[in-house]
Amino acid sequence: EILPVFFDDLKRLEHDYGNAIEVEIKDFESTIRTKTGEAILCSWHARPLMDSQNRRVGAMALGRDITEYKRLQNELEDYAKNLETKVKQRTIELQAKVEQLAKLLEIGEEIRLNVDIDVVVNKICEAVKSLGWRKVIISLRDFETQTSRAVATAGLTPDKVEEVMGWGEIPFEHTEKYLKEAFRVSNSYFIPQEANLLAEDTPYSIYTDLGEASPGQWQSLDALLVPIRTKDRILGVISVDDPVDRRRPDVNRIRDLEVFADKAALAIENAHLWNVHKENERRAKLLAEMSQLFHASLDMHEVLEAIVHKGGKVLGDFCSLLLLDEKGEGLEPQTTYHKNPRMVDYFMKGLEAHPCKAGEGFIGQVVATGKPFLDSHPFPQIKGGFADTPFAKLHEFSPISSVIVVPLRIRGRIIGVMTYLYCDVNRRYKADGLKLAQEMADRAALAIE
């Protein structure tokens, strides 16, 4: 066609309404095809032509090519819509940054005030979740046991929280296999499903079935580990899963997570320094109190009993002092403490059933070698557990979680041992506890001498 169809419309209107209506068309947009076959968009202005009898004899139409104008107009409208969308998105991003900064300032203030590390780590966990991750787990490392332990979660159901907290000690080797340079993004590690390192039943992990994923989307077996690190070592790991937008993270998003990991590292280091300070204070106070015990009584048994009671209350749940008999073969109990007297009875009956002898069992080995002994659940150094030891009955009623045995020396000669127990699944001895236990044993040896 060459002209638009509005001429047909004029005829229809005239047929329907006769001379009762006059029609003038302005800015009517219609596409026409030129003689060369090119389609162009025109803006038409048309009006009817009348004869001397005021009868419609035709119409006059003037068309203006607006093809380029319309294209530019459409592009401008699209640009305006895109700009509006981008402004909204940028506003959301800036708001998220403001909220992130507020959380960082809050966490930083709590670190400065030496707020309990558990509180700080849980707040960091929730802050990471607010960055667009539905599930977050923070685990911290124990370099003495070479294991990690989950300490905080966010976004998990109560049963999943119980499962994660029940993982217990996670060997360093389990985590190290994921911290490979091939997976490194910034200072973190993204392990894609395609690497085939994770499965639905992989230990120490939470599986989330996300269904099929499009290119660029987070998959069910993807993993992102953000180390909590200092200059020379990794203190723990922030593990995130199931992003709200379902997208695999880019480097900028990962760096946002690393900001919170840095805060966690600062909190852990501060907590460590604070704990060292408090431990030094506790040690100094305890040793000062023990020195006073020497002046409070001239009776050796009273002094030893006071030392053991102090050890059982301050350095565990149980403490016992045993000395070698005259033959230097058997170990005989001198005084024992547990807040529950029944546990002391169980220990004494255990000694009758399983006497301690120099060179036998983990207690006797301390006498034979002079080396202190420390072991914790699941007790890899105590073969066969406590079944054939003086602690058998006690362990049955109050499960032991950690044990220390240190030698008593007088002028280089071993005369006995002191034993300490934790009967709390959440507590175990570490190197500083072993050091303090030995110092207490040395004070007891002085009293005996």
Q: Find out whether 131 and 256 touch, Cβ atoms under 8 Å.
A: yes
Provide the domain count of the chain.
3
pLDDT < 70 stretches in the chain: 1-25, 56, 93-94, 96-115, 290-298
Task: Find tokens 């790991």 and name the residue.
Answer: 237
Residue 76 lies in a domain: no
pLDDT at 1: 45
pLDDT at 18: 58
Measure CA 8 to chain center: 74
Q: Find out whether 146 and 172 touch, Cβ atoms under 8 Å.
A: yes
pLDDT at 365: 94
pLDDT at 185: 95
Residue 48 belongs to domain spanning: 6-65
Residue 279 lies in a domain: no
Considering the domain architecture, whether residues 326 and 208 belong to the same structural domain is answered as: no
Considering the domain architecture, whether residues 137 and 235 belong to the same structural domain is answered as: yes
Considering the domain architecture, whether residues 116 and 255 belong to the same structural domain is answered as: yes
Considering the domain architecture, whether residues 342 and 227 belong to the same structural domain is answered as: no
Q: What is the pTM of this model?
A: 0.58
Considering the domain architecture, whether residues 262 and 317 belong to the same structural domain is answered as: no
Residue 182 lies in a domain: yes
User: 309: exposed, middle or buried (C-beta count within 10 Å: 0-12, 13-18, 19+)?
Assistant: middle
pLDDT at 148: 92
Residue 72 lies in a domain: no
Residue 328 lies in a domain: yes
Considering the domain architecture, whether residues 51 and 110 belong to the same structural domain is answered as: no
Residue 193 lies in a domain: yes
Residue 114 lies in a domain: yes
Q: Hey, what's the torsion of the CAs at 187, 192, 196, 199, to 10 degrees?
A: 100
Considering the domain architecture, whether residues 257 and 329 belong to the same structural domain is answered as: no
Considering the domain architecture, whether residues 258 and 397 belong to the same structural domain is answered as: no
Considering the domain architecture, whether residues 17 and 151 belong to the same structural domain is answered as: no
Residue 225 lies in a domain: yes
pLDDT at 20: 52
Look at the chain and count its residues. Answer: 449
Considering the domain architecture, whether residues 53 and 196 belong to the same structural domain is answered as: no
CATH of the domain at 369: 3.30.450.40
Considering the domain architecture, whether residues 97 and 243 belong to the same structural domain is answered as: yes
Residue that finishes a domain, picked among 33, 65, 97 = 65
Considering the domain architecture, whether residues 120 and 266 belong to the same structural domain is answered as: yes
